[in-house]
Amino acid sequence: MIKKFLQKVFNKKTKAQIAINKADSSNTSAAKIISASKHNINKNLISQSALKTCDGLQKAGFEAFVVGGAVRDLLLNYKPKDFDIATNATPEEVYKVFRRSRIIGRRFRLVHVLWGNETIEVSTFRGHHDNEGDAAVNDSGRIIRDNIFGSLEEDAVRRDFTANALYYNATTEEVLDFHNGVADLKASLLRMIGDPTTRYQEDPVRMLRAVRLSAKLGLKIEKNTQAPIQKLADLLQDVPPSRLFDEMLKLFLSGHAVESISALRAQHLHHGLLPLLDVVLEQPLGEKFVMLALKNTDDRIVAGKSSNPSFLFATLLWHEVLKTWETYKAQGHNLIPALHMAMHEIIDAQAKKLAIHNRFTATMKEIWGMQPRFEQRAGKRPYALLTHPRYRAGYDFLLLRCESGEIDMELGEWWTEFADANTERRTAMLLPDTNPKKRRKRNHKKPATHSEPTTHVKEPS
């Protein structure tokens, strides 16, 4: 039944591509085994949760390896930020081994095993698409579902780069290397497994991963892995916006965002990802602003500080918001309603390409919405702004605008001083109120019996 369905979905071209990938795998079926004495992996850098997960699976009679980015990072002497486990247990079997676990994903089913507040991702070895199982590709060869399970060797073929197809057995402390990943790492090369064009067609996000991982790890993208990227850049248009968002978020928070964005531009991969990458980077002021924001984020991350994605996305889209805001103002809309119209329009347009999570867009709007309020430096308004729950983010955003040359430095300096000043100094700093809040007259409903209208004066707020 499933086979029939797959036959319908797979077109001729993708069958041919799969044949190529299969041929690749048969050449590399034997893994090199690198013993503990021949590699420099420090087991202490592996999280206890990952070790417990491997141990649990192995005790239940399954194979289990630390795999992917974690092994690569350990070999490069970086501390991995997350640990993935690969196993021959099916998701249901993994779920049965661990009390605190859940099966997630549809496109790619896997299990999250929870240990305290750490989550370990466990995936079942993936197999060839002509094995039994549930998988599908679309017309352009993109894999839209991949739930066909297979052997360890098959799993290695389906990973993206040779350096990401390394398997560490925590019990024997051996590394299994199916595609010469260790040699590539030693040569500082990021090399695609199999035919790069086919692999990008299966999943265009691999192009972004190539750029991101090479910037993050200081690896050079191998010649054949690099060659088709520019030509295939348009395939990214077909990737679901939520996946693009996840990948771009990783890129922005990698600590190497500036390099990654420059590389994306050089490879023509930026078109359509974010309006900023298309348009803003082409305007000198916009580019300066975005690059400053990315540089700040990189510095924070490299220094081990956290970085707020809402703030970053607010900066990335700001110049688009500014432009649209100007248009609405020119059409005669009032300042604040015009800003709100612009904010909504830009976020909606963005969502079609790269879906920024709602939890971030709410904060982005707050940061943007605060900006005109920084212009108001008279009366009670500056005091009210200081108590805004997002004041700090709004102020940092203001400073970036100043540094990029969009607005006068003096405004940022005024707020820096005002926030820290004592009451006396603050009073002295306030500008004359040229636009005092009007005392509004409020007409109360005329009581039917009264002939004279009563007016109340509203207390100034």
For the annotated catalytic residues, the residue numbers are: 82, 84, 160
Tell me how many degrees the CA angle 284-286-291 measures, rounded to the nearest 5: 95
**177 interface partner picked from Mg ion, ligand ATP, none, CB below 5 to 8 A per type:** none
Taking the mean position of all CA atoms in its chain, how far away is CA 112?
A: 20
Give me the residues paired with residue 114 across strands.
Answer: 119
Torsion of the alpha carbons at 275, 204, 164 and 27, rounded to the nearest 10:
-160
Smallest distance from the beta carbon of 82 to Mg ion, in angstroms? Answer: 5
Among the listed residues 56, 68, 127, 133, the single contact to ligand ATP using CB under 6 A? 68
Return the DSSP state at 218. T
Binding string, residues 295-334; x marks residues near ligand ATP by CB under 6 A: ----------------------------------------
**CB of 69 or CB of 133, closer to ligand ATP:** 69
Among the listed residues 82, 130, 287, 396, the single contact to Mg ion using CB under 5 A? 82
Torsion of the alpha carbons at 363, 367, 370 and 372, rounded to the nearest 10:
-140
Which span (41-49, 77-85, 238-246, 295-303) binds Mg ion, by CB under 5 A? 77-85
> Can residue 203 be called a binding residue for ligand ATP (CB under 6 A)?
yes
> Can residue 179 be called a binding residue for ligand ATP (CB under 6 A)?
no
Cα–Cα nearest to 70, from 50, 55, 91, 53: 50
Length of the chain: 461
**159 interface partner picked from Mg ion, ligand ATP, none, CB below 5 to 8 A per type:** ligand ATP
Which span (74-82, 90-98, 249-257, 439-447) binds Mg ion, by CB under 5 A? 74-82
**365 interface partner picked from ligand ATP, Mg ion, none, CB below 5 to 8 A per type:** none
Residue whose CB is nearest to ligand ATP in the complex, by number: 69
Which span (40-48, 55-63, 203-211, 391-399) binds ligand ATP, by CB under 6 A? 203-211
Separation of alpha carbons 89 and 461, rounded Å: 65
Return the DSSP state at 238. G
> Can residue 69 be called a binding residue for Mg ion (CB under 5 A)?
yes
Binding string, residues 350-369; x marks residues near Mg ion by CB under 5 A: --------------------
**203 interface partner picked from Mg ion, ligand ATP, none, CB below 5 to 8 A per type:** ligand ATP
Smallest distance from the beta carbon of 344 to ligand ATP, in angstroms? Answer: 32
Smallest distance from the beta carbon of 201 to ligand ATP, in angstroms? Answer: 12
Q: How far is CA 88 from CA 35, 151, 274, 346, 440, in A?
A: 22, 7, 39, 46, 73
- Buried (b) or exposed (e) across 403-429, using 16+ Cβ within 10 A? bbebeeeebbebbeebeeeeeeebeee
Q: How many amino acids of this chain bind Mg ion (CB under 5 A)? A: 2
> Can residue 401 be called a binding residue for ligand ATP (CB under 6 A)?
no
Which span (65-73, 214-222, 276-284, 294-302) binds Mg ion, by CB under 5 A? 65-73
**181 interface partner picked from Mg ion, ligand ATP, none, CB below 5 to 8 A per type:** none
Return the DSSP state at 64. E
Separation of alpha carbons 196 and 185, rounded Å: 18
Smallest distance from the beta carbon of 396 to ligand ATP, in angstroms? Answer: 26
Return the DSSP state at 159. S
Q: Which two tokens stand for residue 17?
A: 């591509």
Among the listed residues 128, 142, 145, 159, the single contact to ligand ATP using CB under 6 A? 159
Which span (63-71, 141-149, 154-162, 277-285) binds Mg ion, by CB under 5 A? 63-71
Binding string, residues 100-119; x marks residues near ligand ATP by CB under 6 A: --------------------
Separation of alpha carbons 431 and 417, rounded Å: 14
- Count other C-beta atoms under 10 Å from residue 354's C-beta: 24
Contact 136, 9 (CB under 8 A): yes
Contact 339, 424 (CB under 8 A): no
Smallest distance from the beta carbon of 75 to Mg ion, in angstroms? Answer: 14
**SS3 at position 103:** strand
Among the listed residues 25, 49, 147, 164, the single contact to ligand ATP using CB under 6 A? 164
Break the chain down into helix, strand, coil percent, rounded to 5.
55, 15, 35
- Count other C-beta atoms under 10 Å from residue 285's C-beta: 14
**CB of 167 or CB of 395, closer to Mg ion:** 167
**Residue numbers at the binding site for ligand ATP (CB under 6 A):** 68-69, 82, 84, 159-160, 164, 203, 205-206, 209, 250
**Residue numbers at the binding site for Mg ion (CB under 5 A):** 69, 82
